[in-house]
């Protein structure tokens, strides 16, 4: 199987875990992944989005476990800059027309091989980075044309726990989840 062909059959849980254990960088799309995909505009044209707090905490734990977090999105939003700053995400690419170019620049700068990257998206604009990733992830509401390239489709929807599900899955595969949960189990 080449990384550019649709999957002939879904990966097994073991195969997904093997890929997840190698991840050093995860890249997220925003609309439909970090949010439910809805765009709210007020009368002044200001954009509003809803983010799921459990996803945010999952991102913080995953970063503490040693996995780099990045966001690559086609939209440019002051709101997203604020959210990334709040979550201490330093790799934020906004207004990106060519997500593969951003993917390539980021992986080269961080010295991370494609097999060590997970990419999570929901629409065809995410396919270039998903197809080159060692672990490609889609949300249940993703277009079918995207899900056919996903190694893993989350149970939970975008903006409602999908990101947390992925964060915990990677930490579990890497053996770091218990250490991230330990401070809360004292």
What pLDDT digit, counting tens, does each position of 125-143 carry?
Answer: 999 999 999 999 999 999 9
Global pTM? Answer: 0.94
Domain count, the chain: 1
The mean of the pLDDT values for the chain is: 94
- Residue 137 falls within a domain, yes or no? yes
- Residue 183 falls within a domain, yes or no? no
- Residue 60 falls within a domain, yes or no? yes
Instruction: Give residue for tokens 């010295």.
Output: 111
pLDDT at 170: 98
Q: What is the CATH number of the domain that holds 58?
A: 3.40.50.1000
Distance (Å, whole) CA 74 – CA 88: 20
Residue 154: name the closest of 77, 38, 58, 50 by CA: 58
- Residue 161 falls within a domain, yes or no? yes
- Residue 19 falls within a domain, yes or no? no
Distance (Å, whole) CA 136 – CA 142: 12
Structural domain that includes position 111:
25-177
pLDDT at 19: 98
């Amino acid at each position: 199987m080449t990384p550019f062909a649709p999957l002939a059959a879904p990966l097994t849980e073991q195969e997904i875990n093997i890929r997840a254990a190698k991840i050093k960088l995860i890249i997220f799309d925003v609309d439909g992944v970090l949010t439910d995909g809805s765009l709210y505009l007020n009368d002044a044209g200001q954009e509003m989005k809803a983010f799921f707090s459990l996803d945010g905490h999952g991102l913080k734990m995953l970063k503490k476990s040693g996995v780099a977090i990045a966001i690559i999105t086609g939209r440019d939003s002051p709101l997203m800059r604020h959210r990334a700053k709040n979550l201490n995400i330093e790799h934020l690419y906004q207004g990106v027309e060519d997500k593969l170019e951003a993917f390539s620049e980021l992986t080269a700068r961080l010295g991370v091989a494609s097999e060590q990257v997970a990419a999570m998206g929901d629409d065809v604009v995410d396919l270039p980075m998903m197809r080159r990733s060692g672990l490609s992830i889609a949300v249940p509401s993703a277009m079918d044309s995207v899900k056919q390239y996903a190694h893993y489709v989350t149970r939970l929807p975008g903006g409602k726990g999908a990101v947390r599900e992925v964060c915990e899955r990677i930490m579990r595969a890497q053996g770091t989840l218990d250490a991230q949960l330990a401070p809360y189990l004292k």
